[in-house]
Amino acid sequence: MLRPLPPLKHPGMTTTLRIASWNINSVRFRIDIVERFLRDHGPDILCLQETKVVDEQFPEGAFRQLGYNHIALNGQPMHHGVAIISKVPLHNRTAEDWQANGEARHVGVEVAGSFRLENVYVPAGGEAPDFTDGSKFRQKLDFVGRMTEWSRALNKPTILTGDFNIAPLETDVWSHKQLVNVVSHTAVEIEALDKLQATANWVDLARQFIPPEEPLFTWWSYRAQDWETSNRGRRLDHMWVTPDLLDKAVSHVVHKPVRNWGKPSDHIPIVTEFRL
DNA sequence: ATGGCTGGTAGAACCAGA
């Protein structure tokens, strides 16, 4: 049972809450640009993926100095790892293992009695869309399948954000034709994501604010000589909400300039503002 | 059609990313 929590707001008052998600590709290596982002944009909550650090070595001090005193971690050595960093209290931390292999790819919390916040790092899925048992692609589909079962049982207002590693719309990739058989944009992945989305009528907030006809990316490969000119991006990072939170969302921004900061991640931060 | 780059950890002719 969830224990009762102090309300975030007084009756009749609205509270603005800005929630960010960012695949940081090593929080220790990139702590300088994380701090810069928090100073420049000051979200109330930051969800990180690919922190690449065990919990004991997570750079909590850097966040506490900036007023982020509430931290929920799920890390492991070397790879993966997720974290929720917050100015407001976090409760009832959970960590699901949707790949059933012990990898640290999810952490969830309850925020001030108002809603649950679920931060996920879906597996990339390997080089090729190969269905053989134990392939990375198979594992990715299994992961989304277990998320789907989890989603069916939800009964609270929920924000689901993170690096989904799937770009569902044709305008979510630089070339639908050229990526149709590339992992992240295959029909079978999109079908699995659609199925997950249908279980709780999840709303894809980015596409509420940026029309689906408009190309929108959150990731550009390190391998391009000039990522901005070639612009071979994909929209892999998402902010979904259950329908009860849809009319609380007032903006959604994709912070593209961050891709040009020093020692950048290949993903950029996304930020949604809520009025609760 | 291919390869291009990145960080962590071990000390790799690695792994994982996507």
Q: Which nucleotide is nearest to A23 (CA to C1')?
A: B17
Confidence of residue A14 (pLDDT cuts 50, 70, 90): confident
Q: Check residue A11 and give its pLDDT.
A: 63
Contacting residues for A251 by C-beta, under 8 A, at least 6 apart: A209, A272, A273
Q: Check residue A58 and give its pLDDT.
A: 97
Q: Check residue A10 and give its pLDDT.
A: 62
Query: What does the pLDDT look like over A202-237, one tens digit per residue?
Result: 999 999 999 999 999 999 999 999 999 999 999 999
The CA–C1' separation of A26 and B8, in angstroms, is 9
| Angle ∠(A51,A243,A247) on CA atoms, nearest 5 | 95
Nearest protein residue to nucleotide B4 (CA to C1' distance) is A223
Can you tell me the distance from the alpha carbon of A228 to that of A232, in angstroms, rounded to the nearest whole number? 8
Residue A50, CB, less than 7 Å from strand B?
yes
Domain topology for A16-275: Deoxyribonuclease I; Chain A (3.60.10)
Q: Where are the domains of chain A?
A: 16-275
Confidence of residue A112 (pLDDT cuts 50, 70, 90): confident
Contacting residues for A4 by C-beta, under 8 A, at least 6 apart: A113
- Note the strand B nucleotides within 7 A of protein beta carbons: 3-9, 15-18
Which is it for the CA torsion A109, A112, A113, A114, positive or negative? negative
Query: What does the pLDDT look like over A137-189, one tens digit per residue?
Result: 999 999 999 999 999 999 999 999 999 999 999 999 999 999 999 999 999 99
Q: Which helix (H) or strand (E) holds A240?
A: strand A237-241
User: Where are any strands of DSSP class E within A8-165?
Assistant: 16-23, 45-49, 70-74, 82-86, 90-94, 106-111, 115-121, 158-163
